[in-house]
Amino acid sequence: MIFWKNNLYTQLSNALRKPSLCLLWVGMSFLMTSLAWALPDAIFSGSTNILTIPYVSYQDHSYAAELLFDAPDTLTLQKITLNNDQPEAGRIVPVYDDLSFHLAQLRANGENYQADIRLNAGNTFKVLQLSTSLFTPVAKPEVMSKHFSGSGNCQACHNGIKDGAGKDVSIITAWQPTMMANAARDPFWKAQVKTELNRTPSQSALINDKCSRCHAPMANVEAKKEALPYTLFGDSGLLDVKHSAFPLAQEGVSCSLCHQIKNSSALGTPAGTSGGYEIDSYANPVDRKIYGPFENVQIKPMQNFVKFTPTFSPHIKTSEHCASCHDLKTPYTDESGKALSTDKASEFPEQMAYSEWQHSDFSKTTSCQQCHMKRANGVIIAAQVPGLSPRDNFAQHRIVGGNALMLTLLQDYSVPLGVNAKDFTAVLAETNELMHGAASLSVLNPVINADGLDFTLSISSKTGHKLPSSYPSRRVIVHVVVKDQNQVIVFESGKVNSDGSVVDLDADVNPASAEPHYDLITRKDQVQVYEDIMEDYKGNITYTLLRAKKYRKDNRLLPLGFNKTNASSDIQVVGEALTDANFVGGSDTLRFTLAGLTGQQYSVHAELLYQTLGYRFAQDMFTDASAEVSQFKQMFNASTLKSYPITQAVATVTR
């Protein structure tokens, strides 16, 4: 915990008592060299000693609050009023159930601080932590290194390109707002990595390497090849502006990383996964190979401009290429940090999207890139090179997944996170489109009999891997509401609260428990959630990745053709779903038998709700006292996208 230091208090108090500066900088989007950015979430006036918080969110209402500062660490509530104005993105301050809250951008005399505030007694609050706000400068994308070139050097030729219909398909513009480009800016990732470091400090070298390998890959590779330090946080960290590899780290999963992964025989094998990709080194920079999907390319323009040699290689279009990071295993430890896994085979399968795909029918027809990268025809792939012929089956680089939550946080908090993308509209629209096509839902055979209401939900997965896939914080909730003919709710299962928790869900009520998988639901406290929940070496549920030995539960929806009876241990179904005859590759059926509902007419509304970060996973992480966690906690709790609808179905039944 960052503690209140006398010298910091003196420094801040002196700053607070200087005349206030203009706080809203109209027309300015980024300020790279200062901590004073626009739209603070709290403003301190040194002349009145009043702290103003324009948008306080509490129990689904918004307020404006004024608190009087009393040295050294007390705030007294002076005024609170309902605020019905639409809050600016990134300024909402959620107040938690214990009436504590976090200020990420407390503006005082043009400088930004962060502070954790806790209810003391009555209407007084205590400042528990005070420090300079977390702030990531925007890195220059024109970076060049011995092994890599930043995206800014690519955009001169690969932006401003159009397809045969005249639609803009600029590569860098499309890629910049994606999760790939922002992999090292992702505030959830940073918070979770910091939590893992704090909980298992003895494994810090492994954590820093493993987590930077796929989230800041160019920086990781460059640091290793040049024998540079590559911790993630602190003054020597890759995420610190003073590190020489900082611009490479901020590029995330960038052009010259993906397109330099060599066509190794290890691709798609255990040796080539978990960040096991290979990048070659060359004595002469111009010999560096940039692999692409098109044959008969002009070599000289790229050699002259960025000193890379474009080289055709079909591996760039394969799912094995993606497996480099999207099959990931991690070691597990005991409470002291001692590693208990003995080799890669015994490590924990953190995410296995490639292996899930490989065990499905999609592996015979559809690659990862075909789902996640839309196609265009008639594209001249370089704007500044004359004489090029149009290319068909061009993979657009607006690479989308299911993470609408994080994309909105990157958009709303672009300045403190150092995001250089200007427009997230298109990537969010395509993310919505992808998610709405991820599954379908039907209400079958509704009937009112002498005992009550019966119906069956038929759920079909349309994805090429498990749904959800990737990091085990994700889950899909079946929410069902039954209303009578007067539109009164007579049954509801899977209701999601505004904080992301699910009513009556075992895990959200008790962190040591997990909701079972259901084939039949008869009560409202039975909730079907498709999820994977981790278990440590003692058999206890855990939300710390490096404690996870195996899964307690994995009933995530299976892709079409996935045979659960012969799946490998890394992708096996775990728990009651394994013996549920209706839970098969591509679908699940869930029957509802609701006793006592013997009226004349009922309507059934069912929906699948997706969460990037489940409530219990979040609450576990929020117990960690780090600035990264506090920053993300405020962002997450202020978001309205904790839950996201995938699909829905409605049916009416009459006796």
pLDDT computed for residue 632 by the predictor = 96
| Upstream peptide bond of 331 is cis (omega within 30 degrees of 0) | no
* 190, pLDDT greater than 90: yes
Nearest alpha-carbon partner for 372 in 324, 328, 435: 435
pLDDT score for 3? 29
Are 286 and 304 in contact by the 8 Å Cβ rule? The answer is no
Quick: pLDDT tens for 628-650: 999 999 999 999 999 999 999 99
Q: How far apart are CA 355 and CA 136, in angstroms?
A: 35
Mean pLDDT for 281-303 is 96
The 10s digit of each residue's pLDDT in 591-602 is 999 999 999 999
Whether pLDDT at 182 is above 50: yes
Helix locations, 485-529, DSSP H:
506-509
Average pLDDT in the 495-510 region? 97
pLDDT at 602: 98
User: In the prediction, which pLDDT does 40 show?
Assistant: 87
> How big is the chain by its Cα radius of gyration, in Å?
26
Q: Pairing relation of β-strands 50-58 and 93-94?
A: parallel
At a CB cut-off of 8 Å and minimum separation 6, what does 582 contact? 519, 588, 589, 590
Kindly report the average pLDDT of the chain as a whole number.
92
Q: What is the mean pLDDT of residues 459-476?
A: 98
Backbone phi, psi, residue 607, to 5°: -150, 155
Confidence check: pLDDT of 172 > 70: yes
Amino acid symbol at 575: G
Q: Is the pLDDT of residue 485 over 80?
A: yes
pLDDT at 313: 98
DSSP 338: -
Q: Which residue has the tokens 């601080």?
A: 113
pLDDT value of residue 236: 83
Give phi and psi for 436, each to the nearest 5. Answer: -65, -20
Rounded average pLDDT over 325-346: 97
* 563-590 pLDDT, tens digit each: 999 999 999 999 999 999 999 999 999 9
Angle 319-326/204-215 helices, nearest 10 degrees? Answer: 150
CA–CA distance, 520 with 374 (Å, rounded to integer): 39
Task: Tell how strand 587-595 and strand 520-521 pair up.
Answer: parallel
- The rounded percent of the chain whose pLDDT value lies above 70 is 94
Handedness of CA 408, 409, 413, 416 (dihedral sign): negative
Q: What is the DSSP string of 12-67?
A: HHHHHTSPPPP---TT----TT-S--SS-SEEEETTTTEEEEEEEEETTEEEEEEE
CA distance 191 to 629: 5
Give me the pLDDT at residue 486, please. Answer: 96
> pLDDT tier at 26 (50, 70, 90 boundaries)?
very low
The amino acid at residue 566 is N
What does the alpha-carbon distance between residue 558 and residue 356 come to, in Å, rounded to a whole number? 8
Question: Hey, how many other C-beta atoms are within 10 angstroms of the C-beta on 434?
Answer: 18
CA distance 269 to 318: 13
Tokens of 207: 């954590």
pLDDT tens figures, 419-446: 999 899 999 999 999 999 999 999 999 9
Q: Which pairs count as long-range contacts for 502-507, CB under 8 Å and 24+ apart, including other chains?
A: 502/477, 502/527, 502/529, 502/615, 503/527, 505/529, 507/533, 507/541, 507/614, 507/615, 507/616
Q: Tell me what pLDDT residue 131 has.
A: 86
238 and 212 in contact (C-beta within 8 Å)? yes
Rounded average pLDDT over 377-386: 95
Say how many residues make up the chain: 655
pLDDT band at 38 (very low <50, low <70, confident <90, very high): low
- pLDDT(11) > 60: no
Peptide bond into 468 cis (omega under 30): yes
Portion of the chain with pLDDT greater than 90, in percent: 87
- Whether residue 1 is predicted with pLDDT greater than 80 in this model: the reply is no
Q: Which residue has the tokens 């954790």?
A: 116
